[in-house]
Amino acid sequence: MNKIFLITGPAGVGKSTISKLIAQNLEKSVLIEGDDVYHLVVGGYISPWKEGNHLKFFWENCKSLIKNSIKNGYDVVFNYILDNKQVEDIKKSFLNCEIKFVCLMVDETTIVKRDKLRSEDCQMGERALVLLNEMRGHNFNKNNILDTSNLSAEETYIDIMRSNRYLI
């Protein structure tokens, strides 16, 4: 049975770092960075939080990438800022897969610190705190939330891989 790992959380929480660790340690895997897929649009690009964005096109592409990867025998690690509706849509679309959904969270001090560690062109500044508060408002199942404020990337990876609490 193929596996899908859905990794979400606010900007700067470590989604890319953890996703890469998971993908590198799976026997046959694909890493889909949601931001990379969203940025495929160049002409007519609109930020995802603004009206007129291309999120519908983005989700169609993501689901196609996941489907094609699964069809070809790859486990999938996908990271992006997700909400409950999108998680449920992926769950319904891939019934024959084992899916782990993890929302990485941290406290305000940690998100600010981690954001400053990013390259200057990738820093979110105040938007990182806005996204942190938005993610808190999604009311994800508490079993799917992992506070990484005091965890290393390796400890986070081990918890995700060993625990069944993230299965949806």
pLDDT digits (tens, 9 = 90+) for 63-73: 999 999 999 99
- How many distinct structural domains can be found in the chain? 1
| Mean pLDDT on 28-53 | 95
In a domain, 26, yes or no: yes
In a domain, 73, yes or no: yes
Q: Which range marks the domain in which residue 101 is found?
A: 3-162
Place of tokens 């690009």: 45
pLDDT score for 114: 86
Cβ pair 87, 145 in contact under 8 A: no
CATH number, domain containing residue 121:
3.40.50.300
The token duo for 139 is: 């009311």
In a domain, 168, yes or no: no
The token duo for 57 is: 């096109």
pLDDT score for 36: 95
Place of tokens 């400053």: 116
Q: What is the pTM of this model?
A: 0.92
In a domain, 167, yes or no: no
Total H helices, total E strands in the chain: 7, 5
